[in-house]
Amino acid sequence: MRIQLSIKNNFKVSNPSNILLIYTGGTIGMVKDFETGALIPLDFDNLLQNVPELKQLDCNISTISFDEPIDSSNMNPDYWNMIAHQIKDNYLIYDGFVVLHGSDTMSYSASAISFMLENLSKPVIFTGSQLPIGDLRTDAKENLITSIQIATLKDNKVNPLVREVGLYFEYKLYRGNRTTKINAEHFEAFASLNYPQLAESGVHLKVYKENLLVVDESKALVAHTTVDRNVVILKMFPGINKSVVKAIFNIPGLKGIVIETYGAGNATTEPWLIEVIKDLIAKGIHVINVTQCSGGSVIMGQYETSSELSRIGMISGKDMTTEAAITKLMYLLTKSLSASDFKKYFESNIRGELTEV
Ligand code: ASP
């Protein structure tokens, strides 16, 4: 698919903060088709007309929009490439970036972009909404306005305060690669169970500086615009069938697997599973262990049901979300790493996505 973007300038005020708004689609910019009742994407100009409050913000806002805004269920690495490119190409011109995105896959995209943008030292804030911007009880306005405000925040009036990929939703800013969508109808749609919030909006906009990523400003931004799609996610469940697992593991070209195990990284000790994983590792396929619990960490070896997985060389996803693990896998697969280096990088904290103990 060819993706075209158009740039339009909106409001100009005197304050030096320049923000680039990247509109990809999602509920935030949709309206109800009164004939069918379905939500359809709205043109970006119409979206901004619904938020005249933006004129009061002390910053210049420019916008880029996908020519055809998408429901985020259609998000894919080609679009991630476009987003990463736009940020890279406009990096020196803008103080911060806000990405408007459907909530369904927002945690995947925020995680992917965090890996694709190495040495990021400006805010990239993902946001969206549960209700369209024109709805009476919409959450879209608050999410949009506060995300832009967060992107303009400065430390000592000079440097950007937030220097990482964040996700703002329902009064809370989280680290993007720590989030998961946990609710399909509540305004509080996201959670970050293994890492505290970065900021909270109430009467005051409170930033928890101690939780922000510390970055080395002297390093230039490097945008990695490709990821490898030869990956799969497998979720364990009692009664999982050997031939089904073997079929997944025989996918041609497969380079990596994220297995969602139980609890602290446990799986059935039936010998066939251990044998399949062992064969995969021997074939050079990277096999990652993440927990299917929303919070907590994989600790291989804590129980007998994970000791063997550790012994045969399965990679620990530690306390990473599945979204972070699969996108980190897709990102690291584009680097030429030996099996041992791959394991070392995967198990190390590279963008604040896991807790090193
Ligand atoms: N289906 C929509 C999307 O992810 C839901 C939303 O925007 O919240 O694009």
Compute φ and ψ for 291, nearest 5 degrees.
Answer: -85, 145
Closest CA to 169 of 128, 109, 202, 110: 128
Domains 5-223 and 231-346 share a fold: yes
Residue 2 is predicted with a pLDDT of 46
Condensed to tens digits (0 to 9), the pLDDT of residues 315-354 reads 999 999 999 999 999 999 999 999 999 999 999 999 999 9
pTM over 0.75: yes
Closest CA to 305 of 281, 280, 270: 270
**For residue 130, which atom of ligand 1 is closest to its CA?**
8
Distance in Å, CA 302 to ligand 1 centroid:
38
pLDDT interval class at 100 (50, 70, 90): very high
For residues 198 and 46, give the distance between their C-alpha atoms in angstroms, rounded to a whole number.
Answer: 31
In this structure, what is the dihedral angle of CA atoms 113, 114, 118, 124, given to the nearest 10 degrees?
A: 80
Residue 46 is predicted with a pLDDT of 67
In CATH, the number for domain 231-346 is: 3.40.50.40
**Domain spans of the chain, in order of start:** 5-223, 231-346
Q: Is 103 close to ligand 1, i.e. is its CB under 6 Å away? A: yes
134-139 average pLDDT score: 86
For residue 27, indicate whether it is catalytic.
Answer: yes
CATH topology of domain 5-223: Rossmann fold (3.40.50)
Alpha-carbon radius of gyration of the chain: 21
Distance in Å, CA 102 to ligand 1 centroid:
4
Catalytic, out of 24, 27, 261, 322: 27
286-294 average pLDDT score: 96
Condensed to tens digits (0 to 9), the pLDDT of residues 160-215 reads 999 999 999 999 999 999 999 999 999 999 999 999 999 999 999 999 999 999 99
